[in-house]
Amino acid sequence: MKVSVGRNLRIWHVKITGRNIYAGSVFTLRIKYPPSYPRDPPSVYFVGPVIPSHEHVYSNGDICLSLLGAGWSPTLTGQGIAVSVQSILKSARRKGRPVDNSGCVGRKPGESQKDWIYHDDNC
Amino acid sequence: MPPTKRDRGSPIPTSTTKPSPSPPVKEPLKVKVKAFHGIARWSWGTPADDVCGICQSPFEGCAPGVKFPGDDCPVVWGACKHAYHLACISQWLSGGKNSCPICRADWNFADDS
């Protein structure tokens, strides 16, 4: 993983190198810390050009990850989130999109996940 | 006649005890203290170099938004034994969640904090 930060220290871009079924791909995760961090989670989503095809990653870049919503804790860090995302990619057995992807593609990525319902215990 | 072994060495010692040295004379130390610089250290009793899990600042330091360390930025413990700056855990609890950020157990302040 490689983190780059520009002038705005609140926005990180994390390059994640694909492993296993994503070998050969490199993905970029955008992490934006709101002023209310760490009480509220950062906004985290994948940015193009390649969004990983994963059953918990929407094609708009949003990630279905409970840590970013109901499971948020103020002790979590950007590094910890990036490692969690790396982990869900690495452990994936097959590619695909979330079942409700078509209903979410028009949504702006990175909005609050406060009211999200998570699909399974792993994510 | 060749010399015998006995003739070569010194006479056989009759006793191994040496005369005991006289006890040291206690003289006063010739140092005069002109001034001294006292240094004290304080901590909240958390492990050395430990940081608050919420703000990642040292417990003996300041939480964000607090001006001075010490009494202005106290450390509190939960019943689960996890410690945070009072300012940090208060902000988290005010967000509607009543859980410890580390272990997610229901948050209760420890009796002595």
Neighbours of A10 (CB within 10 A): 13
Please indicate if any CB of chain B lies within 8 Å of the CB of A115. Answer: no
pLDDT in tens, A59-75: 999 999 989 998 999 99
Q: Going by C-beta distance under 8 Å and a sequence separation of 6 or more, which residues neighbour residue B89?
A: B54, B76, B78, B101, B107
pLDDT in tens, B48-66: 889 999 999 999 999 999 9
Catalytic status, residue A64: yes
Residue A76 lies inside a defined structural domain of this protein: yes
Residue A115 lies inside a defined structural domain of this protein: no
d(CA A14, CA A26): 10
d(CA B113, CA B94): 19
Residue A120 lies inside a defined structural domain of this protein: no
Q: What is the mean pLDDT of residues A11-27?
A: 95
For chain B, residues with pLDDT lower than 70 are 1-20, 112-113
DSSP letter (8 states) at residue A98:
-
Residue A123 lies inside a defined structural domain of this protein: no
User: pLDDT value at position B48?
Assistant: 86
Domains of chain B are 46-113 (3.30.40.10)
Query: Are A15 and A27 in contact, with CB atoms under 8 Å apart?
Result: yes
User: pLDDT value at position B54?
Assistant: 96
In angstroms, the Cα distances linking B73 to A48, B69, B79 are 43, 5, 20
- Chain A and chain B share a number of CB contacts under 8 A equal to 19
Domain containing residue A61: CATH number: 3.10.110.10
Residue A114 lies inside a defined structural domain of this protein: no
Q: Please report which confidence band the pLDDT of residue A121 belongs to, taking 50, 70 and 90 as the band edges.
A: low
Q: What is the mean pLDDT of residues A14-35?
A: 95
Residue A121 lies inside a defined structural domain of this protein: no
Q: In which domain, by residue range, is A59 found?
A: 2-96
Query: Are B59 and B45 in contact, with CB atoms under 8 Å apart?
Result: no
User: pLDDT value at position A123?
Assistant: 44
* Structural tokens at position A68: 């970013």
Q: Please report which confidence band the pLDDT of residue A91 belongs to, taking 50, 70 and 90 as the band edges.
A: very high
Query: Are A67 and A81 in contact, with CB atoms under 8 Å apart?
Result: yes
List all residues of chain A from 77 to 96 with a beta carbon under 8 Å from chain B: 77
Residue A111 lies inside a defined structural domain of this protein: no
Choosing from A16, A51, A57, A64, the catalytic residue is: A64
Say how many domains are in chain A. Answer: 1
Residue A113 lies inside a defined structural domain of this protein: no
d(CA B90, CA B113): 14
ipTM: 0.76
